[in-house]
Structure formats: C-alpha cells, structure tokens
Amino acid sequence: MSQDLINRYKNSFRLQFHNAATEASYRDMQELRGRSSSAFAFLALFFLCLAFAYLEVRAFGHDVELPKYGYLLASVLALANLLISRFSAELYYHKWRLIGNGLLTMLTVIAAVSLQKYSAYHALEFVLLIIWMGSLKSVRLIATVSINALLALVFIGAMYGTEISGFWISLVSVLLGAAVTLGAYIGYLTERARRMLFLETEINKSMTNRQELWAFTLIDLDMALSGILDFKELITLLKKHLEPVIEFDSYILTSLDGQGPKPIADKIEGELFENDEKTLWSEDLLGKLTQTRQATKSAEHETVKGFLGTEKQRFTSYRLDVPVFNDSKLLGVISLRRESQPFDDLDMISSVSIAAQAMLIFKRSTRSSAMVVDQTIPDPVIRPKKTVNSTITSTSTVSSSENRDMEMTDHTFIESDQTLVPRDVVDKFKQEEASAKKTITLMSRENADKIAIDRYRTAAVEGEPLSILIIEVDGLSKLRERDGDQVAYKVFAAIVKYIFSKVDKEKDILGRYGQNGLSVLMPKVDMNAAEKFAEMIRQFVANARYKTAYGEKSATLSVGVAAITDDTGDYPSMVKRADMALFVAKKNGRNCVKVRL
C-alpha cells in the first residue's frame, strides 16, 4: 500500500476502494469499531425520541396518545441498544438494531401525521431523523439513502390524507427532498473521511513494516551472498531478497556483460513479462539508469482497437527497473512488474540500497578469492615499476592526497617461465617500455579541482577567459573487459600523453574525471579556441592506432566544453555545464565535441 493510493482516492468520486482486499480490510475494521459508533447513534436517537414525545404532549395533550407512546417505546429501545453496544462483548447485529430503531421512530412520526392534524414540527422531526439516518457510520450509505427516500415518500402520502393545502404539501416535499440530499451528502463526506483515515493508518503501518523488513534484509544479505563469485547467480539471489520488501507479480533480470545496446533476458518469471515483444531494456532506459544510478518507475500501456476501429491506450502494468552497479559501471538490471498499484519512493530507495549492498558483498568475495589465488600461484606477468612523480605544473603544490594522482608510465615485465608467458609477448612489452617517455602525473580530480578553483577565482576577478574540457575515451570499458586492464591502460596513457604534449604546460591543468576520462582546464582560453582545440585532439585520436602486445587498438573521444561567463556562478557550475555537454555528445553517437553555453 502506497501514498499513491491516497492520491488516486482523493481524485476520484468513487466511495468504495478499487482493491478488493483493501475494501475487505476496511469493512473488517468498521465491524470492530461498530460498538462505539452505534453507541453514539443510539444515544442521539434516545434524546430525539424523548424530545419528540414532549412536543407531542405539549401540542396535542392527551387527545391522541399513540404517537407519544410510540416515541417513548423508541426511546426505551434506544436506551437498551445503547447499553448493549456499550457493555456487551458481542455486537448482536448492531446494523439491524440501528435501522430497526430508526424505522420505528420514523413510522411513529408518520402515524402522528395520519392520526391527528399535521403540524410543522412533524416535518422538522422527520428532517432530523433523515439526517440522523444519513450520518450512521455502521450502515452502508446506499442503504440509508434508500430508506430515507422511501419513507419521505410515505410521509408525503400521509399528508395527503389530512386537511392540509397543496401548497404546504409542495413546500414539505421540497424540504424533505433537500433533507434526503443533505443526509446523503453528509453520509458521503463522513464515509470518505473515515476511508481516508483508514488508508493513512494502513499506509503508515505498511511503511513501518516494510522499513523493518528492509533493515532485516540488509542484515541477511551478508550471510546469504558471501562467497558467491558468479554475477548472474548473485542477481538471481538478489531477486529473492527483494521479495519481502517490494511486492511484485513478475520479474526479469539480465547481466549486461557483452550483450550490447539491446540485452536479452537471463531469467523471466511471471506472466507480465512472458509475452512482451518490445525491447525490454531500451538504450534510453539504460542511459537513464547509468546517469541517475537510481531505480526508475513507470506505468505501461498497450495500444488496442476500440470502437469503430479507433485505437486507444489500455493500462497493462506498473514497472520498476533496478540498476546493479559495480563502482561506476552498470553490470545488470532487475525489472519488476505488478498490476495492483504503482511502485513508490520506498520501493525505489530500498531496491537500490539492497542492490548496492549486494555488490559490496560481491566485490569483497571476489577480492578475497583473488587474494587466495595470489598466495597460491605467483604472478608470472606484471610487476609495477616504481617511478618518481613529476607534476605537470611548477607553480602549484598539491595536497596530501597526491598519492591518488595517476602516473602515466609503462609497466615492466619480469622474466618468467616460457610455458607460462610466450616469449614474443614479453619482448613486445619490453620494446614498449624501452620507448616510454618521461613520466606524466595525471592529477586526481580532488587535486585538479583545488588548483582549478583558484584559477577560476583569478579569472573571475581579472575578467579573463577560462575554459574547461571534459574528455571521455569511448569504448575503454569494453576494451578493458575484452583485452584486459593493461591494454586499456596503454591506450588511455597514449591519449593522455598526446593531449599533454599539446597543452600549455605552464598554466593548463590535467586531472582525472571518472573512470575513463580526464579534464583539461585552460586559463586565458575562450570557448571558441577551446572548442577548436577539442576538435583537433578528437580528430587525431579518431585517426590514430595504438600498438599493444595484443595488436593495434583504436579509440575515439567524446568531449564536453564550457567556459566562464557572467552567469556561470562558480567553478562547480561551469564543470556541470561541461559535463552536460559531454552527456549530449555521448547521446549523439559519441566521437564528437559539444559546447554548453
């Protein structure tokens, strides 16, 4: 049960709930509360009957005593019913007791009109009884409205048997019609108010229970997923841990590893996904999941033929897509569907947190497994070479976080058993090492931002141009997956070295940006010049080939460009605009330069 249920109920005029289970739960609750509500109704009727008996004696004395005794009998019954409702453990058909007591009182008023001369207070008495009947909590609204309308007609018929003029009959008819309408309206409003209170109470209970289940699930994950090294097995088990927290009818999951832009399902369960012929995970959806790193919810419809061949949209199901990330890489998607009600914010937040916790456990398990392998089998290939950092600026000093800066150096390879590593592969890596250039330190984003903020302030005060390029190497993640980290490193290092050779080393700042990119801050360079520079390096990289131990590799660049303006605000705002330009470049097919004004 979600907040959306309250919003939909507020926007409809329907009295009953669409969901049968919710309606049944509400009626059960009303049965439990029937004792207190019926006690109050009987108390009100008791005083009304006493008042009517007193008026009857004052108006007609002892000429016709049947109405007086009728009112007294109704008051005694009301008092008895009041005591039963208040002190008895059983309700004893409290709805029928309410209707019966009310009918007796109404019929007494009608008898008073038939047996003696009509008086205006008879109509007022009947109006009060109509409103009393309409405000009953325990009796369904349609029943009270029907009783009120029927007895109002009987009351008008009784007036025809008296010596009253047609004018008064018409006037009383209008009055009783208004009273029936008012009673129905009061009953409708009070019933809606009770149902809204019920929904809010149930939603609060549901939220509390789901939050508790969410917390217990996060605790249980550690025991359930520890030691699992297969990712597909992980997300299959992850689905089972989503079930206690999130209600769903069908689910489908996929591992995106090597599947391209239109992945296929690894596992499907439930009818809501079985006959789906559309692309289950579109490129736009995967792009949105990658950018937001949050679950997405939607309502799905299908096109069907309507009257005279027209087309109309028919609702099919609600959907929730949960991304599974490893650091910044989208590894898989779990999609859930249900028909009963939309997914809410708690569904989105809890699903992402459970997926994130599962990936932390998975990373810990794989890391532990790798440590065991390293201890049993010596690494025959790679040993990092220790080098001395050489910063790209001589006038700036980096902070203590300098150890996170990336050295663009080639790795050396140790002599190893010919049966483990082919000699020609080792020779190629040694040749690349021999031709390696001087070490370049690519600053961490933290260090680059510290220097860039200072340069931005200087440019803003002195009114000088300042531009920033955010560059991402397209396809580097796939290259890393296919050929390994070392090949991806070689390509990335070669691109960085080329860019480093083209920038002004006295003032430009290069820093890491994400897993596959870097940023270039260019003081005293306006947007047009920065765009031309970005286009120049993009063209060079697109035409270049990079020799590695596993053959020639190629890459392209997507570049976002922004510059300081009067409306920029601050350095983070300028970076954000450049990042948005990069996003547009990637959405436009990559291998291009986009500018964000």
Domain of 501, in residue numbers: 382-595
Q: How far is CA 485 from CA 93, 368, 493, 511, 555, in A?
A: 77, 19, 12, 20, 15
DSSP 8-state class, residue 443: B
pLDDT of residue 430: 52
- For 250-287, how does the pLDDT look when each residue is reduced to its tens digit (9 = 90+)? 888 888 865 655 677 888 887 766 555 566 788 888 88
Q: Which helix (H) or strand (E) holds 538?
A: helix 527-543
- For 179-199, how does the pLDDT look when each residue is reduced to its tens digit (9 = 90+)? 889 888 888 888 888 888 877
- d(CA 60, CA 363) in angstroms, rounded, equals 93
pLDDT of residue 416: 34
Tokens representing 329 are 């890489």
pLDDT band at 378 (very low <50, low <70, confident <90, very high): very low
pLDDT of residue 436: 42
Clarify whether residues 531 and 386 are in a common domain. Answer: yes
Lowest mean per-residue pLDDT among 315-324, 375-384, 544-553:
375-384
What is the DSSP code string of 19-86?
SHHHHHHHHHHHHHTHHHHHHHHHHHHHHHHHHHHHHHHHHHTTS--HHHHHHHHHHHHHHHHHHHHH
Tokens representing 362 are 């998975």
Residue 394 φ/ψ, nearest 5 degrees: -100, -10
- For 240-260, how does the pLDDT look when each residue is reduced to its tens digit (9 = 90+)? 888 888 888 888 888 886 565
pLDDT at 150 over 50: yes
- Output 321 or 238, whichever has higher pLDDT: 321
Residue 210 in domain: no
Residue 212 in domain: no
pLDDT of residue 298: 87
Tokens representing 452 are 């860039």
pLDDT at 547 over 60: yes
Clarify whether residues 176 and 248 are in a common domain. Answer: no
pLDDT at 32 over 80: no
- Output 493 or 368, whichever has higher pLDDT: 493
Residue 218 in domain: no
- Burial bucket for residue 588 (CB in 10 Å: 0-12, 13-18, 19+): exposed
Of the three residues 185, 203, 221, the one that is the final residue of a domain is 203
pLDDT at 5 over 70: no
Residue 35 in domain: yes
- d(CA 155, CA 534) in angstroms, rounded, equals 90
Lowest mean per-residue pLDDT among 80-84, 144-148, 208-212, 365-369:
365-369
Clarify whether residues 369 and 423 are in a common domain. Answer: no
- d(CA 471, CA 453) in angstroms, rounded, equals 19
Mean pLDDT of the region 201-227? 76
Residue 219 in domain: no
Mean pLDDT of the region 312-339? 85
Fill in the amino acid letter for 460: A
Of the three residues 341, 359, 375, the one that is the final residue of a domain is 375
Residue 144's nearest CA partner among 157, 130, 154, 156 is 130
pLDDT at 384 over 50: no
Task: State the CATH number of the domain containing residue 327.
Answer: 3.30.450.40
Query: By the 8 A CB rule, do 507 and 524 touch?
Result: yes
What is the DSSP code string of 355-367?
HHHHHHHHHHHHH
Clarify whether residues 405 and 518 are in a common domain. Answer: yes
Clarify whether residues 426 and 571 are in a common domain. Answer: yes
pLDDT at 522 over 50: yes
Residue 285 in domain: yes
Clarify whether residues 10 and 150 are in a common domain. Answer: yes
pLDDT at 411 over 90: no
Fill in the amino acid letter for 426: V
**Domain total for the chain?**
3
Please state the length of the chain: 597
DSSP 8-state class, residue 431: H
pLDDT at 385 over 50: no
Residue 497 in domain: yes
pLDDT band at 469 (very low <50, low <70, confident <90, very high): very high
pLDDT of residue 516: 84
Clarify whether residues 400 and 532 are in a common domain. Answer: yes
Which three-class secondary structure state does DSSP give residue 130?
A: helix
Share of the chain above pLDDT 70, in %: 79
What is the DSSP code string of 407-432?
EE-PPEE----TTTS-HHHHHHHHHH
- d(CA 574, CA 585) in angstroms, rounded, equals 17
pLDDT at 405 over 60: no
pTM of this prediction? 0.43
Report the sign of the C-alpha dihedral through residues 449, 453, 458, 463, in that order: positive
- Burial bucket for residue 294 (CB in 10 Å: 0-12, 13-18, 19+): middle
Other CB atoms closer than 10 Å to residue 144's CB: what's the count? 24
Residue 557's nearest CA partner among 594, 527, 529 is 594
pLDDT at 54 over 50: yes
Clarify whether residues 358 and 403 are in a common domain. Answer: no
Residue 473's nearest CA partner among 388, 554, 386, 371 is 554
Of the three residues 359, 375, 391, the one that is the final residue of a domain is 375
pLDDT of residue 435: 47
Burial 318-329 (b: 16+ CB within 10 A, else e): bbbbbbbbeeee
Would you give the end-to-end CA distance of the chain in angstroms?
Answer: 45
pLDDT band at 72 (very low <50, low <70, confident <90, very high): very high
Clarify whether residues 107 and 244 are in a common domain. Answer: no
Share of the chain above pLDDT 90, in %: 13
Clarify whether residues 431 and 543 are in a common domain. Answer: yes
Tokens representing 41 are 């109704």
pLDDT band at 368 (very low <50, low <70, confident <90, very high): low
- d(CA 329, CA 312) in angstroms, rounded, equals 39
Mean pLDDT of the region 170-186? 88
For residue 308, the Cα-to-chain-centroid distance in whole angstroms is 38
- d(CA 289, CA 266) in angstroms, rounded, equals 19
pLDDT at 401 over 70: no
pLDDT at 388 over 80: no
pLDDT at 592 over 90: yes
Lowest mean per-residue pLDDT among 28-37, 232-241, 375-384:
375-384
What is the DSSP code string of 273-299?
HHT--S-SS-HHHHHHHHHH-S-EEEE
- For 15-26, how does the pLDDT look when each residue is reduced to its tens digit (9 = 90+)? 777 667 777 777
- d(CA 191, CA 401) in angstroms, rounded, equals 64
